Structure 1
């Protein structure tokens, strides 16, 4: 099977923006527009194509702050601060450069990039060997026989690599059951509550023992009294968190169009020309050494 690389575009943009903005290194072009996040994105995707020996490349994007999850819970991600001024002009720039570099870009209104990634992986599993690159551990729930998730760890090519076998050995649950774990423990970064007083260790133990939120509730009398009280007192929050934790795998996509446009072949000179056009000096110097 051919290798398909699916990239969480915003995860890379944000990661490399903050890695250099910490030292006020915004890599501004001649017009004074910051390019630091874009340059890191380009370097990372080019490295990932090499590391995964990708024959096909898709970059998935978030399309605005609001998604269907905000209709379920208006507080979902509502606490997150506005992006820095230096990052804002890079949102459009990175997607345009990604397109010009020949990567197939996908972003669907009302859905997060994770949902698009999950739908693509779910639909194309078994047809391609799929590598997903992101910093979001929530994506571990989509692991399957031909789907790996490479969590960004350091730099441009150091990852915490998960396949289905490693996940099961490490956590003693199936990847899909991560949704149930997240329902109990909640997620402060995404702003959903879970069950107050149930942490990660207890959440995993409950799902390892009972298999699902539903089965925990069916056997709640078997739990220590303290856990019973916490869970019974947070029934609505538990249900809500389960809905929010699940990656949607049925996003409406034009699959035939995607399959026809996702093949990729490296053209180093074209990459260098595009880097020159946008004054991406650091990215160009990196590519020129390949």
Structure 2
């Protein structure tokens, strides 16, 4: 590893939505005395500090979605992409801007690019930074990010109760039976209902994993269909175009046009500035004591 350090990349939307729903399940939304909703921002800040304590990064960056569904690059490839997405709760909407005020108080860069998703931002950053010899840790709730795992890039998948699953190439193979390069091809076959990625009807995760591990990748599977049962061959042939479209939709884009300075992402902050923001948002003592 280069002596330039360790970079923690946070999936902003994953953290913010998880923080919102974790604190909202009982129906009570944290608010300031003037009625500003802060439950998601408070939870996000706690999670960011938790992962910073855990990873001990030298640098920290948050990646964000910044586009409506209709303006996404992937929506141009496939009309149905993420078409099932509901509007966020009204109590969460004002917190999208508020959370960035908090990260800015910590001098943490907020990065996004119109048309692209947070995954693409993290994919571009992790690819570029690891190519320069930096160790990268991605914290996200999205299993798609497992395709980014490498010798220098590990992924922590958020789970309930403040827990996570840690993935590097070895643990990915142990826990899911595939390599980082096979993550997209498994998704191409099984699809993803949450993102409206169609996949191949009738093929679930177990079968998709079996097919890809047996053949190596999607191209070799399609080049060797005669080895499949007649029923499986028929499914795969009938939905070939849909499967390859799903592969394209599931592939994280790693060359998003981002402007960023690693120096500006140093995990160092002005404690007075952070405390002032905490006071403004009436965060209370538990978080304040964590920033000294």
State the match for 1:222 in structure 2: 227
Shift of 1:269: 4.1
- Where structure 1 has 5 or more consecutive residues not aligned to the other structure, the ranges are none
Shift of 1:280: 2.4
Shift of 1:289: 4.8
Q: What is the TM-score normalised by the length of structure 2? A: 0.93
* Counterpart among 93, 96, 107 of residue 98 in structure 2: 93
* Counterpart among 3, 6, 11 of residue 6 in structure 2: 3
On the 8 A contact 2:67/2:116 being kept in 1, the answer is no
Deviates more, 1:169-178 or 1:233-242: 169-178
1:20 matched to 2:26:
no
State the match for 1:133 in structure 2: 139
> In the aligned structure 1, how far is the partner of 2:161 from the partner of 2:176?
26
Deviates more, 1:130-139 or 1:18-27: 18-27
> In the aligned structure 1, how far is the partner of 2:165 from the partner of 2:180?
16
- Where structure 2 has 5 or more consecutive residues not aligned to the other structure, the ranges are none
* Structure 2 SS opposite 1:125: helix
1:286 matched to 2:287:
yes
Shift of 1:266: 4.7
State the match for 1:148 in structure 2: 154
> In the aligned structure 2, how far is the partner of 1:154 from the partner of 1:128?
29
Q: How many residues align?
A: 285
> In the aligned structure 2, how far is the partner of 1:205 from the partner of 1:98?
42
> In the aligned structure 1, how far is the partner of 2:270 from the partner of 2:154?
26
Q: How does 1:1-290 map to 2 (within 5 A)?
A: 1=3, 2-66=5-69, 67-126=72-131, 127-156=133-162, 158-254=163-259, 257-281=260-284, 284-289=285-290
On the 8 A contact 1:145/1:164 being kept in 2, the answer is yes
On the 8 A contact 1:101/1:274 being kept in 2, the answer is no
Pick closer, same or farther for the CA change 1:266–1:46 going to 2, 3 Å.
Answer: farther
Shift of 1:98: 1.2
> In the aligned structure 1, how far is the partner of 2:56 from the partner of 2:235?
48
Q: Deviations over 1:182-221 (max 9, x none)?
A: 0000000000110000110010011101111111111111
* Structure 1 SS opposite 2:28: coil
